[in-house]
Amino acid sequence: MEEALVLQEDTAGVVRLTLNRPRALNALNSELLGELDAALAALEARGDLRAVLITGAGDKAFVAGADIAEMRDKTPDQARRFAVNALATLKRLERLPVPVVALVNGYCLGGGCELALACDWAVAGDNAVFGQPEVGLGVIPGFGGTQRLPRRVGPAMALDLITTGRRIDAAEALRIGLVNRVVPREELETLVDELTGQLGANGPQAVRAAKQAVHDGMNQPLDSALALETSLFALGFAGTEQHEGMSAFVEKRPARFGDAG
């Protein structure tokens, strides 16, 4: 049997998804995107989910881009369907109710950069290389890059990267806000363990509410967004999670939040 194209590990509700085409530098083809979509659909139904980490197999690439060999001979209609399907998968990733973190290990180009942009935030090894090189292939980014990149780094920097197709290293990605943290490549796994512990230790419903407040609030006027925050803050007092968290603080002990569901 062929090995799965998306590998999954679960540590107390913190799920790590590894895109597994290392010989192709984890390039996104229809089959891999289909397996990723199915994995994400299954995660949507889990009440115990705390966070999702996504990375690429091997030490050379997170995702080096979409699969050029598959795309080369597509008609416009076929290209549209390919992009629509990929966008649907990235939207499913983006809309998970828990934090989604990209762990960037190596090349993160084209569709790979767009995949990282669909995550809530990203951490990178110092060997990471980022870019949107599609114009060098005669096309523009088709998996959300022209829209998510300017929202992450600003329109001027996004146009710089998209229209030149230039690559940037991890240090520049950190400077412009494309990634949140950069560590030596050999320390990336240590950081993963740290993130797993941090993301799994907090109140799961509070974390979900925080993500909802940020994502939904960004699309509303400030007054409406503040009202949303107030509602979600107050709703936190309706369950047991708030009482446990605050009691643990007063009693100077670790909180025991139990299952997210």
In the block, tokens 């090894």 appear at 125
Concerning whether 244 is annotated as a catalytic residue, the answer is no
Concerning whether 134 is annotated as a catalytic residue, the answer is yes
Q: Which of 3, 114, 244, 251 is labelled catalytic?
A: 114
**DSSP output for 205-244:** HHHHHHHHHHHHHHTS-HHHHHHHHHHHHHHGGGSHHHHH
- What gap in Å lies between CA 199 and CA 195, rounded to an integer? 6
Q: Which of 134, 189, 194, 241 is labelled catalytic?
A: 134
According to DSSP, the β-strands at 181-183 and 121-125 are parallel
Question: Torsion over CA of 246, 248, 254 and 260, rounded to 10 degrees?
Answer: -50
* Residues facing 22 on adjacent strands: none
Residues carrying an active site annotation: 114, 134
